[in-house]
Chain A
C-alpha cells in the first residue's frame, strides 16, 4: 500500500502535525483550559483528513458536497480550531480574544457550529456524533450526494449506548458513505479505559454489527494513517455496502513526555514551565524518517 503514498507528502504532513502541536500547546496555555491528552492524540488523523483526504476547502467551509467531519469527542475541539487558524481562518490572538468571553465569545471548550462555521455539529455531550453521522449519511443517500460523512469517536465515550444503537443502524442501512474513526488512546478521564469500562474486543464487536473494520497499529504515524484512509472503499451514495470503522490506536498526550498515557492530562490548563518543556518535547519526539 505504501507504494502509492508520496513520502515527501508524508514528511510535509508530519511537519504540519508538529506545527499544530506547538500552536495547540500555546493556545491552551493562553486560554488556560483544554483537554490536551485527547487533543494531542488526534492530531495525525485530523491533519490527514483536513490537509489531505477530505474534499474540504477552508475558503468555502459550507461548500456543496463537501465531506462532513463530525468530532463526537467535542471536548477536543481546540485541535480543530488550531487547524482552522493554521489554514488562515483565524489567528491564535483572535481565538484567545474570543474564547469563552460571554457575549463576545466565538470559541468554547465545546464547539458550536453557529459560532464557528467550519464546525459541522455542535458537540460536547458524549455519544452523540455517531447517530448524527448516520443521519448525515442517510441524507446523502437520499439526495444522491457524493459526500462522505466521517465521524471521530473517543474510546472513553464509546461506553455510551447511543454508539451501539448507531452502529446497528449504520450496518442495517448499509451506509457505505459513512466512516467512523475510533481514537483509541486507551485512557479516559479517571484511568485506563480497560479498567474504567473495557470496550474490547472492539474489532470483533463492530464487525458483528455489520461494519468493515480497518485497524491502524499506530494512529500517530502519518504514513500508517494515510495507508488506512487509502483502504476506505470508493464513496457511492446509493450503493448499499458496509460502512467503514477505523480503529486508530493512539497515545493520549502524544508528543509530550509528561502527558503521555497519563489520565491526569485529560483536562486542564498548562503552566509556563510546563509549556516550555512540552514544546521542547514535541520537537524532540517528532518522527524521523
Chain B
C-alpha cells in the first residue's frame, strides 16, 4: 500500500543535511560505536558540528583534502571501525574517485561516504555542481548508493547503515527540501523502491529531493485527468530492477527525474533496464542536459531545465499526447 505523504507542505522545509548530523549525534548519545571524518565545511552551528564539539575523540577534521580524507576513512575502517565521512558535493566523486574505487570499494571497508550539496543544490555554478557522481558510482563494483528523499528518510538510511555490510555512498542535497513522507512509520529497505504515489497512466521514477516536485507534478496532472505514479528510487545501486519493470509495464510510459546529468545517472540506469526487458512504451529522461549549467539558484535552474513540477508535468503531457 502506498505510503503516507505530505503534499501541501511547501513551508515544511527540512534538511537531510541537518538530519544526518542529528542522527549521528543521536546514535553517539545512544552509545553506538563509530567515527566521523569531515572536511572544512561542517559549520559548528550544524548538528554535525555539534557532534564534533561533543565527541572530539571520534571526529576527525581533514581540511580541504578530499582524497586524503577518503583514504584515511578507509584506514580507520581497516582498524575495525564503522566510519561516516562527509565531503562537499562534487569534490567527493571528482577529487576522490580513485580513493572511492580502490580504498573504499575494492578494499571493501565499512565506510559511509556522505556527499552533501548534491546536484546543483550548492549553487555557485558548474564548479560546485555534483552532476556526474552517479555515473561514476554506478560503474564502480561493490558500492551501495542511497539518495534520501527527505530528512526523515535520511535518518532511516544513516541508522540502517550501521547494520549494513560493505561500502556506502549517501547522497544528500544542500538543505531546505520539503518533507515527502508524513511520518517515519513506513518500512524502509535499502535497495527496495517505494511506490510513493500510485498511478495508471505514467510512471515517474525519481530520487532524492526531486521526488517532491514529481509528487506536485502528479497532483497537478491529476486535476487534468492524468494519473501519474511516483516511484522513490532511493537506492541507485543496487537498483530495484523488479520495481522498474513492474511499474513501467503497469503504465506503459516512464519518465525519470534526477538532479544529475541525464547521462549515466538514474535515467540511464532505468533506460538500460527497460531496454533489456523489452519495454516498448514511451520513455523520457529529465535532468541536467549535457552542458555546463546556466547560473542561478537551484529552483531557477530546475525551472530552466524543466525539472520542477511545471516542467515535469509539461513533459508528461507532451509524451502522452
A113 to B74, CA, bound (A): 13
Closest A-chain residue to B101, C-beta based? A125
A162 in contact (CB, < 8 A):
yes
Q: A136 contacts B78, CB within 8 Å?
A: yes
C-alpha spacing A150/B6, complex, angstroms: 53
> In the complex, how many angstroms separate the beta carbon of B116 from the nearest chain A beta carbon?
20
Q: Are A162 and B67 in contact (CB under 8 A)?
A: yes
Q: What chain B residues lie within 8 Å of A139 (beta carbons)?
A: 35, 75-81
Chain A residues within an 8 Å CB radius of B293: none
| Contact pattern, B 94-107, Cβ under 8 Å of A = 1, otherwise 0 | 00001101110011
Q: Is there an interface contact between B106 and A131, defined as CB atoms closer than 8 Å? A: no
In the complex, the answer to whether A121 meets B35 with C-beta atoms within 8 Å is no
* Cβ contact within 8 Å between A125 and B72: no
Whether A122 and B79, one on each chain, are in contact in the complex, defined by CB atoms closer than 8 angstroms, is no
Are A169 and B65 neighbours in the complex by a CB distance under 8 Å? Answer: yes
Of A112, A128, A140, most B-chain CB atoms within 10 Å: A128
**Residues in A neighbouring B60, C-beta threshold 8 A:** 138, 173
Q: Chain B residues with Cβ under 8 A from A124's Cβ?
A: 102
Is the C-beta of B303 less than 8 angstroms from some C-beta in chain A?
A: no
Whether B108 is near chain A, meaning CB under 8 Å from some CB there, is yes
What is the bound-complex CA distance between A199 and B59, given in angstroms? 33
The answer to whether B102 touches A135 (Cβ under 8 A) is: no
Contacts of B166 in A (CB 8 A): none
A166 interfacial by beta-carbon distance below 8 Å: yes
Assess whether B223 is interfacial by the CB under 8 Å rule: no
Residues in A124-138 with C-beta less than 8 Å from chain B: 124-125, 128, 130-138
Are B80 and A121 within 8 A (Cβ)?
A: no
Whether A135 contacts B78 in the complex (CB less than 8 A), given A113-B107, A122-B106, A166-B72, comes out as yes
Residue on B nearest A238 in the bound complex, by CB: B57
A143 adjacent to B80 (CB under 8 Å): yes
Complex Cα distance A78/B146, Å? 38
> B103, A132: Cβ atoms under 8 Å?
yes
B210 sits at the interface (CB 8 A)? no
Which one of A132, A139, A162 has the greatest number of beta carbons of chain B within 10 Å?
Answer: A132
Chain A CB within 8 A of B179 CB: no
Instruction: Provide 13 A-B residue pairs closer than 8 Å at the C-beta atoms, listed in order of the A residue.
Output: A124-B102, A125-B98, A128-B71, A131-B68, A131-B99, A140-B79, A142-B76, A143-B81, A161-B67, A166-B68, A168-B65, A169-B68, A173-B60
Query: Which B residues contact A (CB, under 8 angstroms)?
Result: 35, 57-58, 60, 62-63, 65, 67-81, 98-99, 101-103, 106-108
Residues of chain A at the chain B interface (Cβ within 8 Å): 68, 112-114, 120-125, 128, 130-140, 142-143, 145, 149, 161-162, 165-166, 168-169, 172-173
Closest 3 CB pairs of A and B: A135-B75, A139-B79, A131-B71
